[in-house]
A = this chain, B = another copy of it.
Amino acid sequence: MSDLRHLLDDVPVVATAGTDLLADSIEQQGARVVRSDWRPPVPGTEAALAKLAADGRNPAANQTAIERMLAVRPQLVDVRVARDAFADMTDRTFFHAGPPLTWERASGPMRGAIIGAMIYEGMATDPEDAAAKAERGEIELSPCHHHGAVGPMAGVTSPSMPVAVVDDAAGNGVAYSTLNEGLGKVLRYGAFASETIDRLRWMDSVLGPVLRAVLLRRGPIDLQALIAQALQMGDDGHNRNRAVTSLFLREIGPALIDGADAPVDERSGVFQFIDGNDHFMLNLVMAAGKLGSDAASGVPASSLVTVMARNGTDFGVRLSGTGDQWFTAPAPPVDGLYLGSFSEEDASPDIGDSTITETVGLGGLAMAAAPAIVGFVGGTAAGAVRRTLAMYEITLAEHPAYQIPMLEFRGTPVGIDAARVVRTGVRPQINTGIAGAVPGTGMVGAGLVEAPMECFAQGIRSLAASLG
C-alpha cells in the first residue's frame, strides 16, 4: 500500500532507457517520461566523445560560447538595399538559405525562388529564360550565412531587395535578413507568379524606405525585449509570431502617424501590410538569432551548435569549435498539416535558415510557450510542452530573457550541445513551413521535423579531430 500511495502523491515520471518503444507508448498516455542517457552514443561518435572528454576543455569552452550567445542585445536599426549592405554582392549574386548549393542540386522551391528573383531583378524575362541562364552559370549562388545574413525557406536574397539591419546594442556585430512577404504565393516558398514579383517591387519601393524612415525617426527597436514579451503571449518566435508582430506595430505606429517623411498612403499601406501578415517578425527574430549565433562562433573545443540551416537539399550544422565548417545530411521530410488540397506528396524536404530560431532557444525549443501553434504545425498542446521539456536534455542553458509562463517562467532551453545530442540520441525539435516541391507552387503546409543526427555526429568527429 505504501508503494501505491507514493504513486498517487506524485505525477508519474517514468524513466526509460534504450529503445523508444516504451517511452513513446507511455508518453502517449500523458505521463512524463525521462529518457535516460545511459544508452550508447550514436555509433561512430564513441571515440570522438572520449577524446573530447580526455581533452577536458569542452565544458569551459561551451560556457564561453553560450555566454557570448546570450550576451548580445539585438536591435533593429535600419533597412538597407542588399547591394549596399553586402560589400561582396555583385549584380549576379543570389544568397540562399542553408549550406552551399549548386543550381544542379537545388530543390524545386529553391529553383523557383531563384527564378523569381532573376525575373524580379530583370535578369530574365520568364521562368524558362531564368532556368536556362542559371544552368549556364550566369548567376552566383552563396549561402546567406556566409554574409552575416539569414533568410527563411529558400532564403533567396538578391541585390535590389531591402534587408533589415540588426545590430548589437553593445556594439558586437551586425546581422541581416530579408523582409517577410507573408504566406501563400511568396518567393521564399518558391513562387514566381506576377503577384509575387509585384509584391517584391512594392517591398523595395515602399516597405523598405518607409521602415527605414520610421527607424531613423524613432531610433532602434529592442528586439530581445519584444521577443521576451511575445513568449509570454503565446509566440514561439518561429512559426507563431502574431504577438511579436503586434508589438512591432505598436513600436512603429506613432512614427507612421506622425509622418516619417513618407506619403500617407504609403504609411497606411505599410501598417496594413504588416497587420495582414502575422509572420512579419519571423525574419527579424531570425536576424536577432544570427547575431547571437555569430557571437558564439569560433570558440575552440566548444560543441555548441551555432547554426542549423537547410537549403531544401541538405540540412547543415555548424559548431562553435569548428567555425565555418558545414556538417550536412540529406534534408528530411516534414511531418505536417497541409493547406487545401495539398498533401505530403506535394512537399519539398526541409528548407530554410529559420532554424536559427531553434539554435537560439526559440521555435521548436520554445513550443511550450506557444500551445496555439499546434493549429498551424500540428500535434497537441501537451506535445508542445513535452518537446520543450525534452530539449533541456541537450542544451547548455536556460535563457535568462526568454521565459515560458506555463513552466513557471523557466527560461527556454538554449544552446544545443552537439555532444549531448550524439550522447543521448535526442535530436533538436524544429517547427517549419513546407514548400511545394514543384518550382512556382509556393507554400503547401507547415509541420514538425527533427534535425538529422548525422550532422551532429560529423560535427563531433570533426571537433575531436580539431583538438589535435
Contact = CB atoms under 8 A, between A and B. Distances in A.
Nearest to A266: B257
A54 interface: no
Interface string A402-434: 000111110000000000000000000000000
Interface in A365-381: 371-372, 374-375, 380-381
B254 A271 contact: yes
A36 interface: no
Contact of A250 (B8, B10, B249): B249
Closest 5 CB pairs of A and B: A371-B405, A246-B246, A372-B405, A232-B372, A233-B234
A304 interface: no
B11 A11 contact: yes
B268 A254 contact: yes
A219 to B, nearest CB: 15
Nearest to A259: B264
25 contacts: A4-B4, A7-B7, A7-B8, A7-B12, A8-B14, A9-B29, A11-B11, A11-B29, A11-B30, A11-B31, A229-B242, A233-B235, A233-B246, A234-B234, A234-B405, A243-B246, A246-B246, A253-B256, A253-B271, A254-B268, A257-B271, A258-B264, A371-B405, A375-B405, A381-B407
Given A257-B257, A257-B271, A7 B9 contact: no
A380 B408 contact: yes
Contacts of A264: 257-259
Given A10-B31, A234-B243, A257-B257, 17 more contacts: A4-B4, A4-B7, A9-B29, A11-B29, A232-B372, A233-B233, A233-B235, A246-B246, A254-B268, A254-B271, A254-B275, A257-B264, A257-B268, A258-B264, A258-B268, A371-B405, A381-B405
Contact of A406 (B254, B268, B406): B406
Nearest to A382: B408
B234 A250 contact: no
Interface in A256-282: 256-259, 264, 267-268, 271-272, 275
B250 A257 contact: no
Nearest to A32: B11
Interface string A1-29: 00110011111101000000000001001
Contacts of A254: 268, 271-272, 275
A247 interface: yes
Contacts of A235: 233
A250 B242 CA distance: 11
Given A253-B249, A254-B271, A405-B381, A26 B8 contact: yes
Contacts of A407: 381
A241 to B, nearest CB: 11
A465 to B, nearest CB: 45
Nearest to A251: B275
Contact of A275 (B243, B253, B268, B272): B253
A182 to B, nearest CB: 15
A247 B250 contact: no
Contacts of A382: 408
Contacts of A380: 408
Contacts of A14: 8
A16 to B, nearest CB: 11
